[in-house]
Amino acid sequence: MTGGPVPVRRDLGALEGYHSPQVDVDVRLNTNESPVGPPAQWLAELTQELGRIPFNRYPDRQATGLRQALADWHGVDIGQVFCANGSNEVLQCLLMAYGGPGRRVVLFEPTYSLHRHIARLTGTAVVAGRRTEAFAIDEGEALALLDQEQPVITFLCSPNNPTGRAEPVGLQQVLVQHAPGLLVVDEAYGQFAPHSALDVGVPVDRLVVVRTFSKTWSMAGCRLGYLLADPAVVSSCAAVALPYHLDAVTQAAGRLALRHADAMERRVELIVSERERIAGVLAAMAVQTWPSDANFLLFRPTGKPAGAVWEGLVSRSVLVRDCSRWTGVEACLRVTIGTPSENDRFLAALTETLEEAP
Ligand SMILES: *Cc1c(COP(=O)(O)O)cnc(C)c1O
C-alpha cells in the first residue's frame, strides 16, 4: 500500500528545523559554548552519584533536590523554580501552557531564532518588533506594540543573541510593568552581563527569567535549563511537561554543578576579560563591531563580503557563525569567545583573511 508521504500539519508548512552547521576544524567558535569543561571535581562527584541512582526506577518527577539547590542559590522558594531539558524545553513548556492557536507573542528582532521557532511549533502567532540601528529597543515603540497586540508573552533576550547587549534596567522595568501578559527574559548569557532581570526591583508576578546550564556552567552536553517565576507559572509548566521528562542523571549533574559556582565565576571572569581584549583588537581592524555583555561578539567586515571572510577563517581552521543572511544582522559574523589561545588563532586568522587579496 503506497499512498505517498503523509502531509505534516498544515500550519508548519515548509518550516525547517534548527540548524547550526558544524565543520571539522581546530577552533570551534560558532555556538557560544564554554571553551572548557566543568571542573574535574564535579565529574568525580557525578561519577560517584551515578552509583547511587536506582536506574530501574523513574526519576523524582518534581526534581526536588535540583530545584531546592537552585532555589537556595537564587534565594527564592522551590515553588518558583521549574527545570527542563535545556532552556529550549523551558521555552517550549511556557509556549504550550500560555501560547497556542489564537494567541500571540511579541519579540524584538534580530534576536534568538528559537523564540520564533518554538512559538510556531506550538501554533502561536509571532509579532516582531524592530530594533534601532544600534540594536536597541525603542521604549515608546515597544509599549505601543504591546498595547496594540496584547501578547500573552513578551520575549526579551538579555544579553541579546546575536547582538550582544543586555537590555537596560529601565527598559526591563517599564516592560515588566506594562506587558499585558508574561515578560519572559531569556538570560542564557545572564552571568556574563552586569545586571539581570532578577535585580529590576519591581513586583515580579509576571516576570519569568529563563537560564541554562549550557553556557556559563559548561554543560551544553547535559541539556538542563530552568526558569524562575511566580508559582502559578511553575505549576502550569509542570502540567504541560511530559511525565518524568528530566532524567535522574541530569538532575544530579545540575545539583552537583552548583557546588562549583566559584569555578563557574572564574571561568566567566576569564571569558569577560578575553571578550574585552578581542573587542579592543577588532576595533583597529576593518570590521564594524558592537559592544557585548555576553560570551560572543558580533562583527561586520567592512572591506570584504562576510561569506568570503567566513570561508577565509574556515580555511585557517577557525569556525565562526555566519549570520550574514539573518534579518537585521546582514553581512555580520558572530564569534564565540574561546580560550586565550583559541582567541589568538581567531585573531591571527582574521588578520590574514582581511589582508588577503580578494
Ligand atoms: C544558547 C542559548 C540558549 C540555550 O538553550 P539550551 O536549550 O539551554 O541549550 C537559550 N537561549 C539563548 C538566547 C541562547 O543563545
- SS3 annotation, 211-224: EECCCCCCCCCCCC
Mutate to test the pocket of ligand 1, among 32, 212, 292 (most ligand atoms within 8 A of CB): 212
Q: What is the mean pLDDT of residues 83-93?
A: 98
Q: In the block, which residue shows the cell 524584538?
A: 108
The CA-based angle 272-32-172, given to 5 degrees, is: 70
Q: Is the pLDDT of residue 202 over 80?
A: no
Among 267, 215, 223, CA closest to 249:
223
Q: Is the pLDDT of residue 198 over 60?
A: yes
Q: Evaluate: CB of 214 within 6 angstroms of ligand 1.
A: yes
CA gyration radius for the chain?
Answer: 21
Q: What is the mean pLDDT of residues 109-119?
A: 96
Q: Is the pLDDT of residue 289 over 90?
A: yes
Question: Dihedral sign, CA of 47, 53, 59, 60?
Answer: negative
Alpha helix segments (H runs only) across the chain:
40-50, 64-74, 86-98, 113-121, 139-149, 169-178, 231-240, 248-257, 261-283, 306-315, 340-355
Q: Is the pLDDT of residue 6 over 60?
A: yes
Task: Name the band, by pLDDT with cuts 50, 70 and 90, for residue 17.
Answer: low
More confident residue, 262 or 19: 262
Name, in order, each residue with C-beta under 8 angstroms of 221's C-beta and a sequence gap of 6 or more: none
Rounded distance between C-alpha atoms, residue 1 and residue 247, angstroms: 40
Q: Is the pLDDT of residue 30 over 80?
A: yes
Name, in order, each residue with C-beta under 8 angstroms of 34's C-beta and a sequence gap of 6 or more: 215, 216, 217, 218, 220, 267, 271, 295
**Ligand 1 centroid vs 54 CA: distance in angstroms?**
30
**Ligand 1 centroid vs 114 CA: distance in angstroms?**
8
Task: Name the band, by pLDDT with cuts 50, 70 and 90, for residue 302.
Answer: very high
Instruction: Calculate the dihedral angle through the C-alpha atoms of 38, 220, 112, 18, rounding to the nearest 10 degrees.
Output: 160
**Ligand 1 centroid vs 214 CA: distance in angstroms?**
7
- SS3 annotation, 36-54: CCCCHHHHHHHHHHHCCCC
Q: Report the SS3 class of residue 284.
A: coil
What pLDDT score does 324 carry?
94
Q: Evaluate: CB of 87 within 6 angstroms of ligand 1.
A: yes
Kind of pairing between the strands at 104-109 and 125-130? parallel
* DSSP-derived secondary structure for 56-104: TSPP-TT-HHHHHHHHHHHTS-GGGEEEESHHHHHHHHHHHHH-STT-E
Q: How many CA atoms lie within 13 A of 1 on its CB side?
A: 1
Mutate to test the pocket of ligand 1, among 161, 192, 209, 293 (most ligand atoms within 8 A of CB): 161
Q: Is the pLDDT of residue 201 over 70?
A: no
Per-residue pLDDT tens digits for 58-79: 999 999 999 999 999 999 999 9
> What is the number of the ligand 1 atom nearest to the C-alpha of 88?
7
**Ligand 1 centroid vs 161 CA: distance in angstroms?**
9
Among 157, 153, 150, CA closest to 131:
157
More confident residue, 133 or 107: 107
What pLDDT score does 20 carry?
67
- Grid cell for residue 74: 537564587
For the ranges 7-21, 229-243, 258-272, the lowest mean pLDDT is seen at: 7-21
Q: Is the pLDDT of residue 303 over 60?
A: yes
What pLDDT score does 12 carry?
84
Task: Name the band, by pLDDT with cuts 50, 70 and 90, for residue 208.
Answer: very high
What pLDDT score does 140 carry?
97
What mean pLDDT, rounded, does the chain reach?
95
> What is the number of the ligand 1 atom nearest to the C-alpha of 87?
8
Alpha-carbon separation of residue 302 from 29, 49, 165, 308, 333 (angstroms): 21, 52, 21, 12, 12
pTM of the model: 0.96
Mutate to test the pocket of ligand 1, among 115, 185, 215, 297 (most ligand atoms within 8 A of CB): 215
Q: Evaluate: CB of 92 within 6 angstroms of ligand 1.
A: no
Q: In the block, which residue shows the cell 571572510?
A: 309
What pLDDT score does 33 carry?
96
Task: Name the band, by pLDDT with cuts 50, 70 and 90, for residue 19.
Answer: low
The 8-class DSSP code of residue 138 comes to P
Query: How many other CB atoms sit within 10 Å of the CB of residue 72?
Result: 12
